[in-house]
Amino acid sequence: MGTRAREIVGMDVNELLRLLNEAYASEWLAHYQYWLGAKLIKGPMKDAVAAELTLHATEELNHAVMVSNRIIQLGGTPVTDPKDWQAISPCKYDAPNDPYVAVLLDQNISGEQCAISTYKALMDATNGKDMITYNMALTILEQEVEHEEDLQSLKEDLELMVIRGSR
């Protein structure tokens, strides 16, 4: 733990650690949802979509690394047991039980929209109080915004292909 680092946080550190652990649990669920979805995917454009899902899986894991580092710096402990991830995460885990490309895209778009709200809330909570967490949340938020757009644009391409193909 960084003792001085903890002292300069201008908000309740335990509350901050709770928010950080929520984000941490969400990142692991997002990682797994993308990672497995990329392997199971079926349907048109599956190779292009799988490549994006695999890249996002890696990026979500990197978010978990960043958030866990901040939790440890502040003297907290990242959620130790995976069985607690779903209960702690504010974003739900959507199992890729239906591997059709459009279904996986929709599930992951919802996940990104939840992640965007989570990091926006973390920025609002830390603004002017903990600039290190604020800055980290901004870095991650920028990537979640990119993820949402990547998936929505793939969904749009898929829809155009399916509509034009049926004429």
Binding site for Fe ion (CB under 5 A): 27, 60, 63, 144, 147
60 binds, among Mg ion, Fe ion, none (CB under 5 to 8 A by kind): Fe ion
- Please report, as ranges, the residues that interact with Mg ion according to CB under 5 A: 150
Q: How far apart are the first and last CA of the chain?
A: 63
Which residue number, 26 or 108, has a Cβ lying nearer to Mg ion? 108
CB of 50 to Fe ion, least distance (A): 16
Which residue number, 14 or 135, has a Cβ lying nearer to Fe ion? 135
130 binds, among Fe ion, Mg ion, none (CB under 5 to 8 A by kind): none
22 binds, among Mg ion, Fe ion, none (CB under 5 to 8 A by kind): none
Which residue number, 44 or 152, has a Cβ lying nearer to Fe ion? 152
Longest pairwise C-alpha distance within the chain: 66
Distance CA 24, CA 49 (A): 25
DSSP-derived secondary structure for 127-161: TTT-HHHHHHHHHHHHHHHHHHHHHHHHHHHHHHH
C-alpha closest to that of 13 among 1, 24, 25: 1
Integer angstrom CA distances of residue 155 from 67, 115, 147: 29, 19, 12
155 binds, among Mg ion, Fe ion, none (CB under 5 to 8 A by kind): none
Distance CA 102, CA 105 (A): 5
CB of 145 to Fe ion, least distance (A): 9
Which residue number, 60 or 150, has a Cβ lying nearer to Mg ion? 150
CB of 42 to Fe ion, least distance (A): 22
